């Protein structure tokens, strides 16, 4: 009888120790993946900040052009203000927060796009070396943003995939880990633009 009780207690102890180790290992992996997502988010924010820092110089250069369209400049300035005011706590990268951030940044992208199109009508801008340098810097930054967003999405995908697997999903729920949001394609991006000659 005593031996049977010791074996039962030994088995229970092994199960408890194994479960504790499994929970601890899962928690450590979730923390590692979560920190990776936060680091990638920091790079996304860094690249958007770089773009935002270029905007005042671009606006100042464009303002120098004779009778440049004021409404376009106003739209760029307002979109920049909105985009820079949108901050997300890296510990709360929910899908809703990412969509809000993406919408604010998308408005700035659209305003900058309109600015570039309108600037084509001003030959003195196209000949201004400062404007050309800013345009090149802005294009490079847009490419960096694309790369940073891709890396962020990859890290979120790894985190979310790991979190949804069993038994990790149970442990993640117990430890209050939640799925992260990803950047998605802009509305209408699935349609190719119509080009007419």
CATH number, domain containing residue 105: 1.20.120
> What pLDDT score was predicted for residue 196?
43
Q: Which domain holds residue 101?
A: 32-174
Domains in the chain, number: 1
Q: Assess if residue 108 is contained within a domain.
A: yes
Token match 């499994």: residue?
22
> What pLDDT score was predicted for residue 37?
96
Helix 2-63 / helix 95-119 crossing angle, nearest 10 deg: 20
Q: Assess if residue 190 is contained within a domain.
A: no
Q: Assess if residue 4 is contained within a domain.
A: no
Determine contact, residues 80/107, Cβ cutoff 8 Å.
no
Determine contact, residues 156/93, Cβ cutoff 8 Å.
yes
pLDDT mean over 59-67: 76
Q: Assess if residue 17 is contained within a domain.
A: no
The pLDDT tens digits for 129-177 are 888 899 999 999 999 999 999 999 999 999 999 999 999 999 999 999 9
Q: Assess if residue 11 is contained within a domain.
A: no
pTM: 0.82
Residue 113 has pLDDT above 50, yes or no: yes
With b meaning 16 or more CB within 10 Å and e meaning fewer, what string describes 98-131? beebbebbebbbebbebbbebbeebeebeebeeb
List the single range of 10-14, 36-40, 127-131 with lowest mean pLDDT.
127-131
The C-alpha atoms of residue 195 and residue 197 are separated, in whole angstroms, by 7
Q: Assess if residue 188 is contained within a domain.
A: no
Q: Assess if residue 128 is contained within a domain.
A: yes
For residue 134, the number of C-alpha atoms closer than 13 Å in the C-beta half-sphere is: 23
> What pLDDT score was predicted for residue 197?
31
């Amino acid at each position: 009888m005593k031996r049977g009780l010791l074996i039962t207690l030994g088995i229970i102890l092994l199960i408890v120790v194994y479960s504790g180790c499994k929970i601890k290992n899962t928690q450590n992996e979730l923390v590692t993946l979560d920190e990776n997502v936060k680091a990638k988010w920091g790079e996304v924010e860094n690249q958007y900040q770089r773009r935002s820092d270029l905007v005042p110089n671009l606006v100042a250069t464009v303002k120098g052009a004779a009778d440049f369209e004021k409404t376009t400049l106003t739209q760029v300035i307002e979109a920049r203000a909105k985009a820079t005011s949108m901050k997300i706590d890296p510990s709360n990268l929910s899908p809703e927060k990412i969509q809000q951030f993406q919408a604010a940044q998308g408005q700035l992208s659209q305003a900058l796009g309109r600015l570039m199109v309108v600037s084509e009508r001003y030959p003195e801008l196209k000949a201004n070396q400062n404007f050309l340098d800013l345009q090149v810097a802005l294009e490079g930054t847009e490419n960096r943003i694309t790369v940073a967003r891709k890396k962020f999405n990859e890290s979120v995908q790894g985190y979310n995939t790991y979190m949804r697997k069993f038994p990790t999903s149970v442990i993640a729920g117990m430890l209050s880990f939640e799925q992260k949001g990803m950047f998605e394609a802009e509305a209408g991006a699935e349609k190719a633009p119509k080009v007419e000659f």
